[in-house]
Copies of this chain bind each other. A is one copy, B any other.
Amino acid sequence: MEDFSKWYHNILEEAEIIDSRYPIKGMSVWLPHGFKLRKYILKELKELFDKDHEEVLFPLLVPEDELAKEGIHVKGFEDEVYWVTHGGQKELNKKLAIRPTSETAMYPMFSLWVRSHIDLPMKFYQVVNTFRYETKHTRPLIRVREITTFKEAHTVHSNQEDAAKQVEIAIELYKKLFDMLAIPYLISKRPVWDKFPGADYTMAFDTFFPDGKTLQIGTVHNLGQTFAKTFDIKFENNEGNHEYAYQTCYGLSDRVIASVIAIHGDEKGLVLPPAIAPDQVTIIPIIFKDGGEEVMAKCNEIESSLQSSGIRVKIDDRDMRPGKKFYDFELSGCPIRIELGPRDLAENKAILVRRDTLEKIEINLEENYTSKIQEIFEEIAINLKNKAWKHTEENITHSSNLDEVKDIVANGKIVSVDWCGDEDCGKEIEEITELDILGTQAEEGKEKKEKELDTKEPNTEEPDAETRTTCINCKKEAKYKALIAKTY
């Protein structure tokens, strides 16, 4: 892709995802087609979360004193909180913050709700809009001032082990979601200077964008007892004593939708995994002077048949040339189109075209074409996933020479390095390369054992003696594999 940024802005407009002409910088309107894409992604997400979490809804506004309670947390957000100071013509007695995230809205209530160890764990989530007064350059769905789709989960536990386990459970949930969306991810533990303000540690998902930059698309935080102490969230334990609770929180945003668009899309438009495509099949009648009614009747029959199997299908019966309809089909990201003309009808067949490969497949209308289409949906999902993962994996390069790191990244790659894990050394690496350390990675393929979960660093294990290496910068013993990238 020649100019990703231009392509991205164009596709959001042309595929009618959002309209960014709204008269406030960093805030956009979800258009009907984009809204549907968002809706089906949220449907999948909610199905995953409803199994084990309760959905709730907290107020948008947070009193100033609650926001200020947790010192480290508020410091992380104070430059980007929007403040409500007036109601009507009147100045408010107490300023109200528009939530940048909901810890300080939720935890005063958790303090009222949590009573006994019997009530724990508690697992809640909500999907809301949140706000950040971004001073950097904004970019639709990526860096915005109104995050319209903020999924945040918050859990409360009676011990440290359960909180650490919940971090792993959340990571598995997010992996399922991203796999379903065919979005590749790199999971790492953020360096201490980049963790969530107030958290013990932060695990993060980054995805690799077509322009060679990585985008943070999900984070999971182990909050330890920090917020419980600030907001007085205590429970009575088995022995009848009162203890501070252990908490986690984890979040996703509009960036998940941005990734689906950016990672799968091509020069012709959107390419969408079937599970979340607003329309999953578009039927295009090819009508000449004669035989139009019969063709339309068959199209309607196919439509009903697919609908009764729960497939989202539409007939494009607009009065225009098929070429324009094919163009719109490709732009919209609909996974399959079916073309049917009088000659096809005579032979009781139709032409099916896959959006991802543009491959043409003849289908026999006398056979069970619905299950054939379901199969192709599966194939499309797998193809998108494999293609995206292959592209990501091909673009991760190991380096042990700090001087070349910047160049490799400038060529659109992610660099994996050996690192000592020391904060000063890490910051020096970031300064020298003018890049970010995403974080430290778990060793691939190595199964994590249950007992290791009760440490605070479940995902970052020291390498075995025989594989010991030296830090790319300070040359001391390297403890971690770290990823370095240009980030959004």
A positions within 8 Å CB-CB of B:
19, 21-24, 27-32, 35-36, 38-39, 54-61, 63, 66, 78-90, 96, 98, 105, 108-109, 112, 124, 129, 131, 133, 135, 146, 148
Contact = CB atoms under 8 A, between A and B. Distances in A.
16 contacts: A22-B58, A22-B109, A24-B63, A27-B59, A27-B61, A30-B56, A31-B56, A32-B124, A35-B54, A57-B148, A79-B89, A82-B96, A83-B84, A85-B85, A90-B133, A98-B98
The winner among A31, A60, A63, A112 for most chain B CB atoms within 10 A is: A60
A59 B29 contact: yes
A60 B146 contact: yes
Contact of A82 (B58, B66, B81, B84): B84
Nearest to A85: B85
Given A24-B63, A108-B23, A109-B22, A58 B29 contact: yes
A87 B133 CA distance: 5
A184 B79 CA distance: 50
Given A22-B109, A27-B59, A35-B55, 14 more contacts: A22-B59, A24-B61, A30-B58, A32-B54, A32-B55, A35-B54, A36-B55, A39-B55, A78-B88, A81-B88, A82-B86, A84-B84, A88-B133, A98-B98
Q: How many copies does the complex hold?
A: 2
B84 A21 contact: no
A20 B80 CA distance: 28
Contacts of A31: 56
Contacts of A54: 32, 35
A109 B29 CA distance: 9
Nearest to A33: B54
Nearest to A32: B54
Contacts of A87: 80-83, 133
Contacts of A84: 82-85, 98
Contacts of A63: 23-24
Contacts of A80: 87-88
A86 B92 CA distance: 14
Nearest to A86: B83
The winner among A38, A83, A105, A131 for most chain B CB atoms within 10 A is: A83
Contact of A129 (B27, B60, B85, B90): B60
Given A83-B86, A88-B80, A133-B87, A21 B112 contact: yes
A82 B36 CA distance: 30
Contact of A57 (B35, B58, B60, B124): B35
Nearest to A28: B59
A12 B43 CA distance: 28
Contacts of A112: 19, 21
